[in-house]
Amino acid sequence: MKAATKVRRNMREAFRGVPGSASVRQMDEVLASLFPEAAEAIRQPWPPQVALERMRAQAEASGSER
């Protein structure tokens, strides 16, 4: 399961911001099919990513208010 989590993190880092890349949800589904033993953990929200996206949204919102 640790390997699946590491692969997931690396894929997300590699694909972030790449135009035309697969969505995180699509990548998670592919990983879940490749690592059935870790499928449940893979499909859970990724806390660091969720927090980062929340901070980006807040930064964009505060930037647009200026």
Is it the case that residue 1 has pLDDT exceeding 80? no
Which residues, at least 6 apart from 7, have a Cβ–Cβ distance to it below 8 Å?
Answer: 31, 35
Most distant CA pair in the chain: distance in Å?
A: 48
Give the pLDDT confidence of 50-64 residue by residue, as tens digits: 777 888 888 888 886
What confidence score (pLDDT) does residue 39 get? Answer: 80
11-43 pLDDT, tens digit each? 777 766 676 767 777 877 888 888 888 787 777
Give dist(CA 11, CA 56) in Å, integer: 20
Q: What residue has token string 């099919």?
A: 33
Percent of the chain with pLDDT over 90: 0
Q: What 8-state DSSP symbol labels residue 36? A: G
Interacting residues of 49 by C-beta distance below 8 A, sequence separation 6+ = 12, 24
| Tally of domains in the chain | 1
Question: pTM for this one?
Answer: 0.41
Residue 11: domain span: 2-64
What is the rounded average pLDDT for all residues in the chain? 76
